[in-house]
Each structure stands twice: as structure tokens, then as C-alpha cells.
Amino acid sequence: MAELFCDICGNGPVRAQILVEGAKMLACSRCMRSGKILMRLDDDDEGEPIVRSIPTTMESSEEIVEGYGKIIIAAREKLGLPIAVVAERLKEKESYLHAIEHERLAPTMEVARKLEKELGIKLVEKVAGTMSPALSKPSSKNFQPPTLGDMIDAKKKKEK
């Protein structure tokens, strides 16, 4: 196969011809999913998953797990620790921990780490980023956050 480069990201090798917004393009294995696949250029690994590994360029971030409040309460009760004791050990306010347990407030990463250590639980999870240069189109109309003005307008309309 001749040296072909992906029309989308410029890298090779090209693995498929795809249709993107009516245009036929050559795409590498990473970019072929951003359009309709017209033809695969090598049939060797048919049946294999298209994406074999998470691209290393993907940014990952950390997030507090869902249901953290219940996790904290369960762990604290299992250990038989009153909230006041945990607060003292963490050097945080009891009311603050209370709010976290009832998920009125999300703990900061620092507090989450302390809770993890103190209670032997897992509150922070790594989240793979959604940033992918192949999939972000500069002209995307879906990526415009509403302005404050828009939100006020929407609110007014609702109230009418």
C-alpha cells in the first residue's frame, strides 16, 4: 500500500475511506469513526475492535465518584465513627462534612483524599478526557455555552 495520510489528522496509516458531511475522505484508524465508513482498506483485522487502546494524548482528570455521600456514611458507620470524630481527625468542620454526606456540597479533592485515607474508601476516580482533536470541529454549533443574557431570556420566557 502506498503511503497515504489521513485527511483528518494528517497521520497515517490510512485504514478506511469514510464519508464526512458528504465528502469522501481517507481516515486513519483513529479518525474513521468520525464519519460513515464507506470502505475499509485492510481487511486483516476485521472483527477486531477499531480502537485498541486509549490514545495517549487524551487528557484525564479526576472526579469525585457518584454517590460519595452514601459511601462516606456507610464507611463511617462501619467504623463506628461519629461525624464529629471524623471532622476532628480531618481538621474540617463538622457541618461541612455533614453537607458532604448529604451531597449538598461536593468535597474538594483535598478533603476527598483525607476522607479516603481516614475511612479506607474510594472517592476519587480518574476520568478520561473527552478532548479529541479528530472529533472537535471548529465550526461546531453545539459547543457554544449560553451567555448570561441567553439564560435570563430563557427564564423570562418560561415565566410568561
Residue from 6, 25, 100, 119 that binds Zn ion (CB under 5 A)?
6
Interface with Zn ion by CB under 5 A: which range of 31-39, 41-49, 53-61, 151-159?
Answer: 31-39
Three-state DSSP class for residue 76: helix
Tell me: does residue 71 bind Zn ion (CB under 5 A). no
Does residue 9 bind Zn ion (CB under 5 A)?
yes
Is residue 41 a contact point for Zn ion (CB under 5 A)? no
Q: Helices 83-90 and 109-119 meet at what angle, rounded to 10?
A: 120
- Say how far apart CA 97 and CA 2 lie, in whole Å: 62
DSSP of 10-39: S-S-EEEEEEETTEEEEEETTTGGGSEEEE
Q: What are residue 127's DSSP bridge partners?
A: 61
Task: Point out which span in 22-30, 36-44, 62-70, 125-133 binds Zn ion (CB under 5 A).
Answer: 22-30
Q: Which is nearer to Zn ion, 37 or 105 (CB)?
A: 37
Q: Does 32 bind Zn ion (CB under 5 A)?
A: no
Contact residues for Zn ion, defined by CB under 5 A:
6, 8-9, 28, 31
